[in-house]
Structure 1
Amino acid sequence: MFGGGVGNAVRAEAVLFATLVAMGFRRWSTYRLAALAGAFSNTVFGLVRANVTIAVVGVAGGTVAGYDAVGVATYVWVGQALLGSVYIFQWTDLAMRIRTGDIAVDLGRPVDPQFAYLAGDLGRAAFDLIPRGAPPLIIGALVTGVALPASPLPYLLGVVSLVLAVVISFAGRWLVNLAGFWLMDLRGPMATYLVAVSVLNGLIVPVHWFPDWLKTLAACTPFPSMLQAPIDVVTGRVQGLDALSVMAVQVGWAGALLGLGQVVYRRGARRLVVQGG
């Protein structure tokens, strides 16, 4: 009976999580014009990045760290296609609720706030993948050409890697927002975080292009797991055991950041109660 009770509880949690994901998808699907605007900006930025990185490869003699012109163009366009879903940019929803005191409502709900916010973010990511991701990839294929795997396995593994990347990205943004329990102004921490994640996740250039010292520094952070990792898996740059190793690192970062987020959230909530919030 005990085992059955645990199983029922797990199933109930899974159903609740899936429901919250679906609600997040429906919520973000109402912002269709914003999705189209995002697709346009992703495409324009992709054109700039693709031309710059192709030029770098040409100046370097045709290859850089295993990337030729088509390979680096593929890297850029797949990255632009995934960028909307991963969402590394500024997010202040939680910080604003802490600042206004609305977080007290979340504390009184029977659902763990991190659990609910994560589910909603996964729903957002699922919606953004097509309207914001497909147009840049199609334009890239027409303008510069892309070289994608012919077998289905990289795409199947890529879906898992992308989900993990979204979880890691959310967990990082969640932690930055939690600083609102202690700080009134988060512009400094958020700006620092955005600079760090933009440089070290492979958005500007592939992490494989970094000098050894910077590559080592990046490997000590979760940032490459947000963008470089899913791109490597989807494009087939890493395959077999190497792909599983990359995804294992993502699992580790996801678990560590979510766990840290729980600890920090509970400490902040206790502080809020002590202050009479």
Structure 2
Amino acid sequence: MRVFCAVFARGLRRHSTYRAATLSGIVVNGVFGAINAMVLLAVFDARPHINGYTAADAVTQVFVGQALIGVTAVFGPPLELGARVRDGTVASDLLRPVPPTLWWLAQDLGRAAFALLVRSVPTLAVGAALFDLVLPADPLRWAALLVSAVLAALVGFGLRHLYALSAFWLADSRGVEAVGWLLGPFCSGMLLPLTLFPDSVAAVLRLLPWAALVQVPAEMLLGHGAPGGLAHQAVWAAALLALGALLSARAARRLVGQGG
């Protein structure tokens, strides 16, 4: 546990040094959030209610999604694991006194915690300043959003960990990661709330792990969510972490079997 906490702190401290990148990220999130919000406002101008969503709900989800970009890393960055497999330095990772999956998880949660504290709050504030967002007065809704954001970070790590682990079998994880960066924003509700998709398509997308990254947290804040949403996130987080640990163990045996 001490090692886990130390690696977590290291990840948080590491990303806190990139202040210019953090500031530029907030600006970019605000700009793209405003563009996406104006597109959705035009859509809702023609049809005020779509499957229970109003224009304010959709715009709020846009900025929740922008606020969670850094937390979930839905657009990246990839874990360094893939690059370490390519250059062979992953062999030294096996010598650490902690399972590789826990090591990378602790480091990534440090990154996500920094993003949540320093990047998410200002991004949501920008959205509230520019648009009429649905921001509840009930602290329980905010608590549900916080829990959902933590679970979203775990799911985001689980997905990126699997992308990176593909390098053990493909020698290069960048192709898998590129596909993941395309699927993630579309399937998560970041580019377009899943509520706006046809019912049959939305039902399928809600079953996938990417919905846990944006759609579920947004619905927790909007009050459209149910405890089942948090359960969906928790199940996917546990499944992805377990699968990642299993594949990581097999990859380690594969690496040893190949001689280094």
Q: Could you say whether these structures have the same fold, taking a TM-score greater than 0.5 normalized by the shorter chain as the test?
A: yes
1:138 aligned residue: 125
Q: Where in structure 2 are the equivalents of 1:238-277 lying within 5 Å?
A: 238=225, 242=226, 244-277=227-260
Larger Cα-atom Rg: 1
What's the CA shift for 1:79?
Answer: 1.6
Root-mean-square deviation (CA, aligned residues, Å) is: 1.4
Deviations 1:149-175 (A, max 9, x none): 111001112111111100000010000
Q: Which moved more, 1:32-41 or 1:207-216?
A: 207-216
Indicate conservation of the 8 Å contact 1:36/1:131, yes or no.
no
SS state at 1:133 partner: helix
SS state at 1:96 partner: helix
What's the CA shift for 1:92?
Answer: 4.3
Question: 4+ runs of 1 displaced by more than 4 Å?
Answer: none
User: Is 1:77 aligned with 2:63?
Assistant: yes
Distance in 2 (CA, whole Å) between partners of 1:186 and 1:24 is: 22
Indicate conservation of the 8 Å contact 1:43/1:135, yes or no.
no
SS state at 1:276 partner: coil
Distance in 1 (CA, whole Å) between partners of 2:100 and 2:61 is: 35
User: Is 1:89 aligned with 2:75?
Assistant: yes
Distance in 2 (CA, whole Å) between partners of 1:177 and 1:185 is: 8
Q: Which amino acid aligns with 1:97?
A: R
> Of 176, 195, 206, which aligns to 2:193?
206
> Of 39, 50, 63, which aligns to 1:64?
50
Distance in 1 (CA, whole Å) between partners of 2:144 and 2:6 is: 24
Distance in 2 (CA, whole Å) between partners of 1:101 and 1:185 is: 12
Gaps of 5+ in 2: none
Deviations 1:78-136 (A, max 9, x none): 22112211111230411011111111111011111111111111111111123322332
Q: Which amino acid aligns with 1:36?
A: L
Q: Which moved more, 1:216-225 or 1:186-195?
A: 186-195
Q: Where in structure 2 are the equivalents of 1:194-233 lying within 5 Å?
A: 194-233=181-220
What's the CA shift for 1:250?
Answer: 0.9
Q: Figure out how many residues of one structure are paired with residues of the other and give that number.
A: 259
SS state at 1:253 partner: helix
SS state at 2:68 partner: helix
